[in-house]
Amino acid sequence: MNFPNRTPVRIGMVGEFFGKRFRVAGRVVLGMEEQGRTSYWTEFNLVNLEGESADLVFEETDSGPEWRLFVMFDPEYPITASDAATKRVGDKLNLDGTDVTVTLVSRSRIYDIEGQGAEGEEVGDAADYFNASGGSTKIVVSWTGEEVECYRGGDVSFEAVRSAFNIDREMAARFAGTLISVDEPASSGFTTKLLWAILIVALLIIGFGALGPLRSYSPPALIITQAPSLRLKPGAIGTLNGVPWQIRQHTLVQIAEVGRRYERHEYQLAGPEGTSALLIYGFDAGQKDWFLFTPVEPLMTMTAQLAAARRYGEMVNVDGEAATVDGLFETILRESESAENTTLGNGKIFYGFRAHSAGTVLLARWDESGISFERGKALSGKEVAAAFKQ
């Protein structure tokens, strides 16, 4: 059986990912059987001069072509082959400090190798694996015998792949069917570089393309989740972490991430001596969780252009505390109310990234007017209820 390369990515091409240059060393075609049907996907083996590797995966699905990028990692909480074999869809696990849920359990087989596959790979090799997801985090665990490999990755757009490998636009157009142009002048004053960066983030969010996992990742259907019903009243006064705050503004926002849309409540708080904070209810999709964020000043300037270039899994250090990017999103303001009966501008759009460090979350958001950074921690519902007399 022939397995032609249906993408414009070719062996020998050099592209930049994670700020490093990788060469396409090989192309591996894998498949899985489900209900008597075999689904195939392609993994491009990427290597660099430092000996580091990554897998760029392409899969044609009923929703269109999808791309994902995965790298191997050593789990903070290791898993054995026998433990992995017990996992079923819906099971929870935590390998690197992030809670994820198993979404698929299957077995893959290598059907074809062009060029250089990953070390030890041969045609006919089979491996058991499961996919797991939590928020924007995607994990693939694969095992053969007692050998276990863990991969962490995320979605990328085809435009990002095209740009990374400097693929000719006409060739890309023949592959993608249509091209999105950003050549028209921008009235907002953004630079061309920023427009490209924001386009890539937007494409990541709306799912124009996506990067598939090392051992195959079947993406879930788009999930749309409404915000929790509880609302705090603008003008209310309460004390959180020993600081008195007044709710100045409530905003219902919609967050768009890869594969899901959800709403949450955001409250602008005013404190003593002109201090401010952001209280968020429903920070994670479908959860009744509370997070209190306060502004942070970056030690080194990070512009909107630099922020928009952040990628899933990268380390960032804004205020002296390193954090790992685990979410790229778009924020749309749906409705707002304030103590002064003013509105924030419904329909306004911000782009952003979320990064986690030990016990805290870094939130970066920007638009054409500037960028802001806030760091926050989780609060219990009882704390918030007691503070604002709910």
CB proximity list for 73: less than 8 A, separation 6 or greater: 96, 150, 151, 152
What is the C-alpha to C-alpha distance for residues 248 and 34, in angstroms, rounded to an integer?
54
Mean pLDDT of 1-27: 86
Mean pLDDT of 337-348: 68
More confident residue, 217 or 68: 68
Cβ distance 213 to 153 under 8 Å?
Answer: yes
Closest Cα partner for 104 from 123, 120, 92, 90? 90
Helices (H) and strands (E) in the chain, counts: 6, 21
For residue 56, pLDDT beyond 70? yes
Q: What is the mean pLDDT of the chain?
A: 82
Residue 348: pLDDT band with limits 50, 70, 90: confident
pLDDT tens digit string along 240-270? 999 999 999 999 999 987 667 889 999 999 9
Cβ distance 336 to 207 under 8 Å?
Answer: no
What is the C-alpha to C-alpha distance for residues 209 and 205, in angstroms, rounded to an integer?
9
**Range of weakest confidence among 101-105, 135-139, 210-214, 340-344:** 210-214
- For position 245, what pLDDT does the model report? 96
For residue 219, pLDDT beyond 50? no
What is the C-alpha to C-alpha distance for residues 50 and 318, in angstroms, rounded to an integer?
27
CB proximity list for 108: less than 8 A, separation 6 or greater: 30, 31, 32, 126, 127, 129, 142, 215, 216
- For position 218, what pLDDT does the model report? 42
CB proximity list for 188: less than 8 A, separation 6 or greater: 368
What is the C-alpha to C-alpha distance for residues 230 and 321, in angstroms, rounded to an integer?
33
- For position 258, what pLDDT does the model report? 64
Residue 206: pLDDT band with limits 50, 70, 90: very low
**Range of weakest confidence among 83-87, 114-118, 267-271, 289-293:** 114-118
Q: Give CA separation, 139 vs 119, 131, 151, 215, 311, in Å.
A: 20, 6, 6, 10, 16
- For position 189, what pLDDT does the model report? 42
- Structure tokens given for 206: 């709306």
pLDDT tens digit string along 124-168? 999 999 999 887 778 999 999 999 999 988 888 888 888 888 887
Q: Count CB-CB contacts under 10 A for residue 38.
A: 10
CB burial of residue 121 (10 Å; 0-12, 13-18, 19+): middle
More confident residue, 326 or 51: 326
